[in-house]
Amino acid sequence: MFAAFGGEKAGDGMKKIFLFSGIAVLSGSIYWFGPLQKIDPFPDQREFQILYKAAIAELPSTAESVRIWIPVASSREGQEILDRKIQSPMPYQITRDSVHGNEMAYFELKKPFPSSLDFNVNYKARMTKPAVEQTIEEPKDADLYLKRVIVNSCG
């Protein structure tokens, strides 16, 4: 049987009302009960496993010695390094930048150089929320970052 208007079958109206009611109840339950299950996409702290790799494929063949500094993560406000394992075929020292306190692996190589220098660091780090929420400040000494440094001079 068809209803008087719109060419709908008898009972289609009830199906629509039932379907609409089900959607409304489901939506309402998500709205009302959802806040009870707090899901924080930015918890106060998180832990990460990080693999950092560096590779220098060609060392200068004309040099007598080569010095290389590779940055390594260290603990600071908002970041705690729980474990750090460094793998390298060459000996190195951990040094600290006197201006910012950043740690670096320092290599001093003498001839004969290896064909390449591969360096891996496995970290386990804990980040805390204050580090993410810090505001960006103007550097106290902007000239330090804007200094012109000549790396290679051509002529």
Q: What is the pLDDT of residues 59-98, one digit of tens each?
A: 888 889 999 898 999 888 888 999 999 999 999 999 988 8
Same domain membership, residue 65 and residue 27? no
Same domain membership, residue 4 and residue 59? no
pLDDT surpassing 80 at residue 150: no
DSSP state of 99: T
Same domain membership, residue 80 and residue 31? no
- Angle (CA) 111 113 117, round 5°: 150
Token pair of 76, please?
């600071």
Beta bridge partner(s), residue 79: 76, 127
- The answer to whether residue 154 sits within a structural domain is no
Nearest in space to 88 (alpha carbons), one of 125, 59, 56: 56
Same domain membership, residue 49 and residue 4? no
Domain extent, residue 61, equals 45-136
Same domain membership, residue 71 and residue 19? no
Same domain membership, residue 80 and residue 117? yes
pTM of the model: 0.55
- What is the rounded distance in angstroms from the CA atom of residue 92 to the CA atom of residue 104? 10
The confidence score (pLDDT) of residue 131 equals: 52
Same domain membership, residue 67 and residue 109? yes
Token pair of 24, please?
């409304």
pLDDT surpassing 80 at residue 52: yes
Same domain membership, residue 63 and residue 77? yes
Token pair of 61, please?
């063949």
Residue range 137-154: mean pLDDT, rounded: 56
Q: How many CB atoms lie within 10 A of CB 49?
A: 10
- What is the rounded distance in angstroms from the CA atom of residue 153 to the CA atom of residue 150? 7
Mean pLDDT for the chain?
Answer: 75
Residue with tokens 């080569």: 66
pLDDT surpassing 50 at residue 151: no
Residue range 145-151: mean pLDDT, rounded: 52
The confidence score (pLDDT) of residue 50 equals: 92
